[in-house]
Amino acid sequence: MRKCSLDNLQKVFALIAENASLYLPVDKVGGAVFEKWQEGTSYSNALNTVRSAKDFFFPQTENMMEFKTKGKEIEVVDTRDEHEDFVVFGVRACDVKSFEILDRVFLCEPVDSFYANRRAHGVIISMACTRPSETCFCQTFGIDAANPGADISCWKTDSEIFFEANTEKGEKLLSSIAALTEDTDEAAVEAQKAKIAEIMKKLPLAGITPDKFGGGKTSEFFNAPQWKELSQSCLGCGTCTFVCPTCQCYDIRDFKTNDGVIRFRCWDSCMYSDFTKMAHGNIRNSQLERFRQRFMHKLVYYPENNEGIFGCVGCGRCLAKCPISMNIVKVMKSLGGEA
């Protein structure tokens, strides 16, 4: 394990930024957002960013290719740009876990090469949570806020920052900042982990359990009468899906330009009324069906297809952002997921 004084953190950022673009949470009106580091950029102390680090690997919009036309000639232009080395600093344990969930979708056959390239070029540095909020329930899904993982795990005290490499990429990055860090024992980190564990036990959502859910439960929950009441106020705004680090639905569209077409993809939402619209019609015509789909996917369908892993990491963003205060915790409680 290595450590450095917080007074040297800007120097560490500068050294990392010599070899790769460095992004980190920065305070803004409305909450923390990931921004590219430049000299003087201050690292936010916010618990988490409004939007997750998912954006770096699966951006909200990205161009896939361009078709240029000239008379009857069509030229296919490669517009790919996902080859930049980058480092994302300050990712919380819940969001680190979200990459395992996204990897299982985008890296299975056929591999999504856009996502795969960004995963190959990105290094994730996590940060343990010392002040989890009342909307946090990562422990429900077996995530340890005190052991955030990723390529490098970090712990921050009032005066120091501690680093531990977990992967080859992490070791390489840590050795690149060795001049600014020093070897240390784990005493301070172990003390912080113990404090975090105590806080986690007292969180209001500590009793939420996923035990009632999982693969093979479709027939138990699909026609549950609770869906009617749970979904009746849902606005179908899609906010919950857009802030969610594990939601991965997208649409691919063509945009006509003066001399051709740009093909791009953008996030979509199963909460939208046209999400399942096809030539023959729509297979989910009511908000109840769309609402049920989102939660059944996270709690039943995803674990069914992924060795029991749930499609939620308990980050709490949907609890904080839904305009009608509906969220996955209310759904789980209503369907019996409370200890």
Q: Which residues bind ligand SF4 (CB under 6 A)?
A: 234-240, 243-246, 271, 298, 312-318, 322-324, 326, 328
SS (H, E, C) 231-287: HCCCCCCCHHHHHCCCCCCEEEEEEEECCEEEEEEEECCCCCCCCCEECCEECCCCH
CB of 226 to ligand SF4, least distance (A): 14
CB of 207 to ligand SF4, least distance (A): 16
Task: Rank residues 128 and 312 by Cβ distance to ligand SF4 and give the closer one.
Answer: 312
- Determine whether 57 is exposed, middle or buried from the number of CB atoms within 10 Å of its CB (0-12, 13-18, 19+): buried
Q: What is the DSSP letter of 1?
A: -
Angstrom distance (rounded) from CA 224 to CA 34: 39
CB of 66 to ligand SF4, least distance (A): 33
Task: Rank residues 121 and 297 by Cβ distance to ligand SF4 and give the closer one.
Answer: 297
Task: Rank residues 10 and 239 by Cβ distance to ligand SF4 and give the closer one.
Answer: 239
Angstrom distance (rounded) from CA 13 to CA 141: 32
CB of 248 to ligand SF4, least distance (A): 11
Task: Rank residues 192 and 246 by Cβ distance to ligand SF4 and give the closer one.
Answer: 246
Task: Rank residues 200 and 234 by Cβ distance to ligand SF4 and give the closer one.
Answer: 234
DSSP H/E element including 194: helix 187-202
Instruction: Please enumerate in sequence order all residues whose Cβ is within 8 A of that of 195, keeping only pairs 6 or more positions apart, or say none.
Output: 130
CB of 285 to ligand SF4, least distance (A): 16
